[in-house]
Each structure stands twice: as structure tokens, then as C-alpha cells.
Amino acid sequence: MKNFKMKPKLIAFLVIGIGFLTLSWGIVGHERINKAAVMALPQPLRVFFYNHIDFITQEASVPDIRKYALKYKDENPRHYIDLENFGSIDSLPKTMEEATKKYDAKFLNDNGTLPWFIEEMMVKLTKAFKDKNRAEILFLAADLGHYVGDAHMPLHTSANHDGQLSDQKGIHSLWESRLPELFVKNYKLNVPQAHYFNDVHQATWDIIKNTHTLAQPLLDVDKKLRTSTAENKVFKLDANGKVLKSKYNTAVFSDEYAAKLHAQLNGMVESQMKKAIEATASFWYTAWVNAGQPDLSDLDAPAVTQRNNQFLKEDLKLYQNGDLFGMQNQND
């Protein structure tokens, strides 16, 4: 059992929010991104994070709980940025402070603040490392992993975030929740070891720009496939032969259509998950380095680290083979 004292409170949060997590990589994607990112860290940072891997994994979906279940008013725009509505990307403000001066609150709430919020989170995480504040490090790192994951979802960078502008409603949750749920066990989610970002601002915007280049190709693939497939093959039907609706009143895509779309996307979902894993680990590592590489070994009881040492060795071998499902204390 990994060292973790805050799990009961976290599990309560997850229970509250479980019915709301239909967007933003869902539970499946976010948990695997954070879990794999722990294994992508270099020593000795990996040892500390591994002691709390269950928390880092489960906490990954909490920002969505704040957004959908608890309805925190400031949470929603942190998850996306509608780049098309900001004009030239080269003219965008560099900081959240500059953004709030250039744009009014309603504009930012409607169009998102994701990249600026990632940079703010990095400042806070760096301070938590400097202060060696165990709880703050874990909460901030886990939350940061969520937003970095969102930054790798193409439709989180587009005003056409659910295909609502092109008669493709439902594509958002299909791409980032349903496809991972159906196919994640086939993904090899091992990535290169975390690296240091010399410029956090540049790294953040490079991710956003790269992710945005995939938004239109994603929509194009779905559009072509959807228009060439009979409706009763695109969506599931109820007993009366009508398109089945979810509890959110959205059409439920058929497994057959999901499989065809996944194949035609040619590895896009898996690739973006892997990029998110490497970036998450690299942001964590960068914050630690910028904090002066503090020794975190005294934040956990030596007995805990010692007990987890063998688990870590075994799990690292599994991870290096791309296998997250055989790891200790797995919740799959």
C-alpha cells in the first residue's frame, strides 16, 4: 500500500463527481496520464511521487469535479482556450495578469485561460517544492497533470469544441472519453524520461499550438466518416429504433462507429496521451529543478519508502514495457 493519508476525502469527491466526468479525457485518460507521468520521472523525484502514486492517479479528475459537480465559478475557463477567437496567436498576452487587462472577464470565461493557468500552476508548484510542503506538492502536481492533459486534447483549443459549428455534436466526448475507454488497454503508454523546460512559457504555448493543429484534421476525419455511414450505424438505437440518448441528452455513438473512427484517426488519441504524459512529468520535474532540487526523502517515513522500493522496481519494468495495467494497487 502506497503512503497516502488524504484518500478518504478524495474518494468522497470522486463519488460526488463520477456522473459528471463525460468530458476532458474522462477518468480513464486523466488517471493514466498522471500515473504514467510518475513513472517517467527521474530519480529521486520518482521515489517521492511513487510513494503517493495512488493519490496522484485518483486526484487527476478532481478539477473536473470542481467544474461539473461543485460548479466552481472560476474553474470552467481553466480547461480550454478557443484560439480562433483570440486573433493572432503571436499577439496573445504572456501572463494571466496581462490577459485580464487585455480582455474582459466575460470574454475570458467564454474563451478560456488554459495556457495561462498552467503557467500560474507552475509558479505555485515551484513554491511548494521550495517550501517542501508535502500536501501542496501533491495536490498541485496532480491538478497540473489534469490541465496539461487538457492542453493535449485538440478540441480544448478550438471554438468548435464539440463540433457544434459543423453539425458534429458529440465528437468531443467520443474522442477523449469513449475512445480511451474502449481502446486504452491496447496503448503503450511508456514515454521518454521527463526533461527540463528552459522556458515554461514557450513550452506551454508550443504544446497549445501543436495540439491546435490537430483540431481540424480530427473534425475532418469524423465528418467524412459520419456522412458516409448510415445513422443507425453511427449511433446506438433504442427499442423503438430511435437514436439512443444518454442521461445528458446526447446521442450515444455505436461501438462500431467508435472503432472505425479510432482506426481512421491513425493513433491520434494514443499519441496525444503519450505527449501529455511526457509533458506532465517534464513540468513536474522543471518545477522541482527551479525550486533548487530540494531533498524530498524526509517528507515520507523511511519505512514507507523502503516498503515501496520493491513495488517500484517491479512497476518500473512493467511501465517500461508500456503496461500500466499490471502495476501495484491498480484500480482498472
pLDDT for 116-164, tens place per residue?
A: 999 999 999 999 999 999 999 999 999 999 999 999 999 999 999 999 9
Assess whether pLDDT exceeds 80 at residue 71. yes
pLDDT at position 180:
95
This model's pTM is above 0.85: yes
> What would the mean pLDDT of 12-17 be, rounded to a whole number?
43
* Banded pLDDT at 328 (limits 50, 70, 90): low
**Residue type for position 105:** A
pLDDT at position 95:
95
- CA gap 219, 159 in Å, rounded: 12
**Radius of gyration (C-alpha) of the chain in whole angstroms:** 20
- CA gap 148, 206 in Å, rounded: 12
Maximum pairwise Cα distance, the chain: 64
Q: What is the CATH number of domain 7-320?
A: 1.10.575.10
Assess whether pLDDT exceeds 50 at residue 10. no
Portion of the chain with pLDDT greater than 70, in percent? 91
* Banded pLDDT at 2 (limits 50, 70, 90): low
Sorted by where each begins, the domain ranges of the chain are 7-320
